[in-house]
Amino acid sequence: MLFATGLVAGPALFLLILLTLQRLLAPRRPDPVKESAFECGIPQADVPWKPFNVRFAAVAALFVIFDVEGVLLFAVAPAVKGSLAGVLEVGAFVSMLAIGLLYAWRKGLLSWLR
């Protein structure tokens, strides 16, 4: 629908033209120094794309999720104070948190706690 109106076709065509011009006109001078990884002026010590344990990323994601949701609980608590609907909503929210925590525990993502 948007392509038919030209609202997206115009900018998309402009972008395609710019990318083509850049590909045709930009100088290409490959250099190993320019293509090497650079960090604080220190020569690279090891391979930059070394595999790492995915568990660290999973633990970091779990921390962010539960940290943000915990902060949301503190933000929502004053707004729902004294209402049955608010208590039910917060209860549903906390039960979803508990289900997520149980799932992560069963999958072994929290094995470092044992």
User: Two tokens at 1?
Assistant: 């629908």
Percentage with pLDDT > 90 across the chain: 11
Alpha helices (runs of H) in 6-114, residue ranges in sequence order: 9-25, 32-35, 54-76, 84-106
- Give residue limits of the domains in the chain: 54-113
Q: What does the pLDDT read at residue 49?
A: 74
Query: Tell me: the pLDDT tens digits for 40-88?
Result: 666 667 776 777 777 777 778 888 888 888 888 888 888 888 788 888 8
